Amino acid sequence: MTKPLTNKVALVTGSSRGIGKQIALTLAARGANVVLTATNADLLDEVAQEITAASSPKPLTIPAELTDEKSIIALVAAVEESFGRLDILVNNAGITHAAQLEDTSAADYDRVMAINARAPFILCRQALPMLKKAPRGFIINIASVVGVKGYPNQSAYTASKHALRGMSAALAEELAETEITVHLLCPGGVDTDMVSNVRPDIPKQKLINPKEIAEIVDYLTTHKGNAIIEEIHIRRKASNPWF
Ligand SMILES: NC(=O)c1ccc[n+]([C@@H]2O[C@H](COP(=O)([O-])OP(=O)(O)OC[C@H]3O[C@@H](n4cnc5c(N)ncnc54)[C@H](OP(=O)(O)O)[C@@H]3O)[C@@H](O)[C@H]2O)c1
């Protein structure tokens, strides 16, 4: 039986581990040709092997440094050269910086903004010509609960995710007459390296499993119909409702 994403091409940033890895595994299992990217080439190769071992289409791995505009431009150009198309762009790569504002340097702030907000902006810009040619194009931006509220000790991270949310809303308006939809996911704590580093106090069993985020991306990219879900808030069961 043909899988729903057969022949589609999906670029997933930050797919060497964590949420991005699970999204890549899931999209590949649904038949997509996945392009894996992050800075750690060895980890990308391990994810590629995992995908191939699961009998999913062999992924392409392209290490790229998302603070560097030229690296992003080369990444998207390599996707075009290899496949000649792009159907799904998942802007997932991200970093955090846990410190009070008065202990956060301009360099710390700039790095968080570069990876979490500027890189998705450049990726969207570079990918749009290919996405516009796809029968249906998807841009899925992974923000955070801090894209809609503020957390102490996370001012740079919070600013970056608000920026990503704002850009997503503006881009969705710009693309309203096209076949491209823009989606923003705002998860609370997910069981990945990022949370282990900044919130080791939260027991793993109280965190969201990265597979649960991947399932939502699966739904968004395979759902057929007139309903468009633009923004999804995903909280931990242990946190307050309607954050
Ligand atoms: N975990 C959570 O609780 C949570 C909650 C809400 C939102 N999020 C968001 O979800 C996304 C994924 O987070 P995660 O928890 O899966 O994080 P993670 O486990 O730390 O993984 C981050 C990914 O981003 C890549 N990356 C980081 N800096 C990069 C750079 N300069 N250039 C290219 N790639 C880079 C990393 O790859 P390399 O190290 O190989 O470069 C890695 O693949 C992030 O945007 C994060 O803000 C996470």
Dist. CA 83 → ligand 1 center (Å): 25
Give residue-wise pLDDT tens across range 183-194: 999 999 999 999
> Which residue is listed with tokens 């995908």?
51
Distance of alpha carbon 184 from alpha carbon 165, whole angstroms: 7
H/E run at residue 186: strand 180-187
pTM for the model: 0.98
Give residue-wise pLDDT tens across range 122-179: 999 999 999 999 999 999 999 999 999 999 999 999 999 999 999 999 999 999 999 9
Dist. CA 49 → ligand 1 center (Å): 20
195 Cβ neighbours under 8 A, 6+ residues apart: 189, 202, 207
> Which residue is listed with tokens 């997933």?
12
What structural domains does the chain harbor?
Answer: 9-234 (3.40.50.720)
Give residue-wise pLDDT tens across range 219-238: 999 999 899 999 999 999 99
Ligand 1: nearest atom to the Cα of 116:
45
Q: How far is CA 243 from CA 42, 61, 230, in A?
A: 38, 37, 17
Structure tokens at 194: 């990022």
Q: What is the pLDDT of residue 242?
A: 77
pLDDT at 87 over 80: yes
